[in-house]
């Protein structure tokens, strides 16, 4: 049904390195994005999954590009494009240490912890939306612990994407890193709530909406 459509899925966390062995990361398992990629493959799409470090079996997911950092993910997205459809499900680290230390950062005898200076990472989703070859349909996620709908709505506007999948990621929900999810697909003029269910089932419902949109 999505035959010959080139589709990008970003998924998983990124790691932003302080030195060779330490990084800033997040709880994303990559499962929701991987399930979306699997479902799109079953719909005959030409899928490229660009995914951060995860503990998932990726061999059945077609074209997979594994990355670690936000900078690597951004580069991989630009290299692999252009795409007809993009689904940005990755939990991209917003900041990286300004400089990665060349050798392991050591404790000092004075017990003073190092001060981390951070710089902002490229916004992969936003850049896709303003690119010359903008995909026809761009879907972002909004990972929120509070004010879910209001924050998702402002992301829809600020990022310039077509839909935002609003995702409650508070620790209590156990959605990020967990087996199940519950989301609201936010469009400019519509909100569609997908009740709590497996990430596979959520992926199927999102992909069904994508097929409906593309064939409309
Ligand atoms: N995203 C991205 N590149 C970034 C940051 C986010 O592509 N550097 C994408 C995510 O993949 C997601 C959307 O932007 O589709 C929203 O990500 P989220 O983490 O919810 O929000 P942020 O843009 O990081 O904003 P904030 O942290 O302020 O909520």
- 65-110 tens-digit pLDDT: 999 999 999 999 999 999 999 999 999 999 999 999 999 999 888 8
Count of domains in the chain? 1
If pLDDT is split at 50, 70 and 90, which confidence band does 125 have?
Answer: very high
- Strands 46-51 and 63-66, sheet pairing: parallel
Residues 117-143: what's their mean pLDDT?
A: 97
Residue 106 domain-assigned (yes or no): no
Residues annotated as catalytic are 26
CATH of the domain at 201: 3.40.50.10300
- Strands 180-187 and 190-198, sheet pairing: antiparallel
Mean pLDDT of the chain: 96
In the predicted structure, residue 20 carries a pLDDT above the cut 90: yes
Residue 109 domain-assigned (yes or no): no
Residue 113 domain-assigned (yes or no): no
Q: Is the CB of 76 under 6 A from ligand 1?
A: no
Q: Is the CB of 121 under 6 A from ligand 1?
A: yes
Structural domain span for residue 82: 6-97+118-215
Confidence at residue 62, expressed as pLDDT on a 0 to 100 scale: 87
Note the pTM of the prediction, 2 decimals.
0.97
Q: Is the CB of 73 under 6 A from ligand 1?
A: no
Question: Rounded to an integer, what distance in angstroms lies between the CA atom of residue 27 and that of residue 14?
Answer: 10
Range scoring the smallest mean pLDDT among 149-158, 170-179, 190-199: 170-179
Residues 190-204: what's their mean pLDDT?
A: 97
Residue nearest to atom 24 of ligand 1 (CA): 94
Confidence at residue 111, expressed as pLDDT on a 0 to 100 scale: 86
Q: Is the CB of 88 under 6 A from ligand 1?
A: yes
In the predicted structure, residue 157 carries a pLDDT above the cut 90: yes
Confidence at residue 108, expressed as pLDDT on a 0 to 100 scale: 83
Confidence at residue 118, expressed as pLDDT on a 0 to 100 scale: 98
Question: Rounded to an integer, what distance in angstroms lies between the CA atom of residue 69 and that of residue 96?
Answer: 9
Backbone angles phi, psi at 128, to 5 degrees: -60, -40
Residue 102 domain-assigned (yes or no): no
CA of 88 to the centre of ligand 1 (A): 9
Residue 44 domain-assigned (yes or no): yes
Q: Which residues of 96-105 are buried (b: 16+ CB within 10 A; e: fewer)?
A: bbeeeeeeeb
Residues 8-32: what's their mean pLDDT?
A: 98
CA of 110 to the centre of ligand 1 (A): 38
């Amino acid at each position: 049904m999505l035959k010959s459509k080139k589709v990008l899925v970003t998924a998983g966390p990124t790691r932003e390195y302080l030195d060779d062995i330490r990084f800033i990361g997040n709880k994303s398992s990559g499962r929701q994005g991987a399930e979306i990629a699997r479902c799109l493959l079953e719909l005959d799409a030409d899928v490229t999954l660009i995914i951060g470090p995860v503990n998932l079996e990726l061999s059945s997911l077609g074209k997979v590009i594994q990355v670690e950092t936000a900078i690597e993910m951004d580069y991989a997205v630009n290299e692999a494009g252009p795409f007809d459809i993009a689904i940005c499900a990755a939990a991209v680290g917003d900041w990286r240490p300004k400089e990665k230390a060349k050798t392991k950062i050591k404790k000092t005898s004075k017990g003073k912890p190092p001060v981390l200076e951070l710089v902002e990472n490229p916004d992969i989703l936003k850049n896709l939306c303003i690119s010359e070859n903008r995909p026809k349909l761009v879907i972002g996620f909004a990972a929120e612990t509070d004010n879910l709908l209001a924050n998702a709505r402002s992301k829809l506007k600020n990022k310039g994407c077509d839909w935002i999948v609003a995702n409650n990621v508070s620790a209590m929900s156990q959605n990020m890193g967990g087996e199940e999810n519950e989301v609201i697909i936010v469009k400019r003029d519509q909100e569609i709530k997908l009740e709590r269910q497996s990430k596979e089932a959520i992926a199927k419902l999102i992909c069904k909406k994508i097929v409906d949109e593309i064939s409309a």
